[in-house]
């Protein structure tokens, strides 16, 4: 489990920090194994992996923080975690921050939707008023205390109220003292560029597979001034497509042989960390 300060050090460096999304701990291990410096615990992916349902606010605080604990145990890189709306009022937000601190995550983002929230790429987003959101972010920062947990103020105003309101809210959250701001729901390159022009200081961008923003490379995003890029669904969508292909082949052929490429048993075991446990057994087993 990475120390919380490791993400802050990465963000203070010269390059943008890329954090692919992981729906589960084994995917987080893959993110780390291929060399990414951070991983994003996506609420979209967590809901899909735990419930097989869409990201419409169905997971509780307890389920999300348990998911975070499992993920931070699995990797040594910092974990950026989705904390949804904070799961209630000020006391809930206070507890949410403390639970994520205990889970060992490096950063959380809190959004300004009313419950039940929705994925920022979906229609039907409903916003709380901006002043209430500012108070909730200040509550989160107080709960953090002196711990080195980054608080990211996320606004979902872009799809619900337009770019001008999204920028206004992001600036309000900066003035409140959050570490980074995050305008979610961008789908077009021109929207990413508008956010970059209008908002100075540390900011987050989310690139979602299937929309126009995937045309922007990491270098493009860095040049636009973003410090952290989230790729919430890249691994998830790739995995579900691959699983569908493999099982379709199995059903048609009656055997997995000849189906899509996959890890061998030995490769997967190494990815899951079997060597560590074999060593423990060799040294201390009966």
250 within some domain:
no
Adjacent-strand bridge partners of 20: 231
* Mean pLDDT, residues 108-127 taken together: 78
Q: For position 115, what pLDDT does the model report?
A: 75
At 11-49, the pLDDT tens digits run 999 999 999 999 999 999 999 999 999 999 999 999 999
Please give the Cα distance from 200 to 225 (Å, whole number).
Answer: 8
188 within some domain:
yes
Q: For position 1, what pLDDT does the model report?
A: 47
Q: DSSP labels for 167-191? A: HHHHHHHHHHT-SEEEE----SHHH
At 143-182, the pLDDT tens digits run 999 999 999 999 999 999 999 999 999 999 999 999 999 9
Segments forming the whole domain that contains residue 166 = 5-241
Is the pLDDT at 134 greater than 60? The verdict is: yes
30 within some domain:
yes
Return the percentage of the chain with pLDDT > 70, whole number.
Answer: 95
Is the pLDDT at 118 greater than 70? The verdict is: no
Q: For position 57, what pLDDT does the model report?
A: 85
Is the pLDDT at 252 greater than 60? The verdict is: yes
Is the dihedral angle over the CA atoms 172, 176, 177, 182 positive or is it negative?
Answer: negative
132 within some domain:
yes
Please give the Cα distance from 138 to 178 (Å, whole number).
Answer: 8
Q: For position 120, what pLDDT does the model report?
A: 52
Instruction: State the pLDDT confidence band at 55, using cuts at 50, 70 and 90.
Output: confident
At 182-232, the pLDDT tens digits run 999 999 999 999 999 999 999 999 999 999 999 999 999 999 999 999 999
Instruction: For 213, list phi and psi in degrees, rounded to 5.
Output: -65, -20
The label of the residue with tokens 């669904």 reads 233
270 within some domain:
no
277 within some domain:
no
Neighbours of 240 (CB within 10 A): 13
253 within some domain:
no
Is the pLDDT at 3 greater than 60? The verdict is: no
Structural domains counted in the chain: 1
Instruction: For 210, list phi and psi in degrees, rounded to 5.
Output: 100, -15
CATH code for position 232: 3.20.20.60
278 within some domain:
no
At 71-89, the pLDDT tens digits run 999 999 999 999 999 999 9
Higher pLDDT, 120 or 126: 126
Is the pLDDT at 122 greater than 70? The verdict is: no
Q: What's the burial of 212, exposed, middle or buried (CB within 10 Å: 0-12/13-18/19+)?
A: middle
């Amino acid at each position: 489990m990475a120390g919380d300060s490791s993400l802050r050090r990465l963000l203070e460096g010269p390059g943008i920090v890329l954090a692919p999304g992981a729906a589960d701990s084994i995917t987080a291990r893959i993110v780390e194994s291929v060399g990414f410096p951070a991983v994003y615990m996506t609420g979209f992916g967590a809901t899909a992996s735990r419930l097989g349902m869409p990201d419409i606010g169905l997971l509780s605080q307890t389920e999300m923080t348990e998911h975070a604990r499992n993920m931070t145990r699995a990797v040594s890189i910092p974990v950026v975690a989705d904390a949804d709306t904070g799961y209630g009022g000020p006391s809930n937000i206070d507890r949410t921050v403390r639970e994520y601190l205990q889970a060992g995550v490096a950063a959380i983002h809190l959004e300004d939707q009313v419950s039940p929230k929705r994925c920022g790429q979906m229609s039907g987003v409903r916003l709380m008023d901006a002043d209430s959101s500012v108070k909730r972010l200040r509550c989160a920062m107080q709960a953090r205390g002196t711990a080195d947990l980054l608080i990211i103020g996320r606004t979902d105003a872009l799809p619900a109220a337009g770019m001008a309101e999204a920028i206004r809210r992001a600036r309000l959250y900066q003035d409140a003292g959050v570490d980074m701001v995050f305008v979610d729901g961008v789908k077009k390159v021109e929207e990413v560029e508008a956010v970059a022009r209008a908002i100075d200081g540390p900011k987050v961008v989310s690139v979602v597979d299937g929309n126009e923003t995937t045309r922007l490379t990491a270098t493009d995003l860095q040049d636009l001034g973003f410090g952290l890029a989230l790729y919430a669904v890249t691994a998830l969508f790739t995995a579900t497509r691959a699983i569908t292909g493999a099982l379709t082949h199995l059903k048609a052929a009656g055997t997995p042989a000849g189906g899509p490429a996959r890890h061998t048993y030995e490769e997967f075991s190494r990815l899951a960390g079997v060597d560590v446990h074999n060593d423990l057994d060799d040294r201390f087993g009966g």
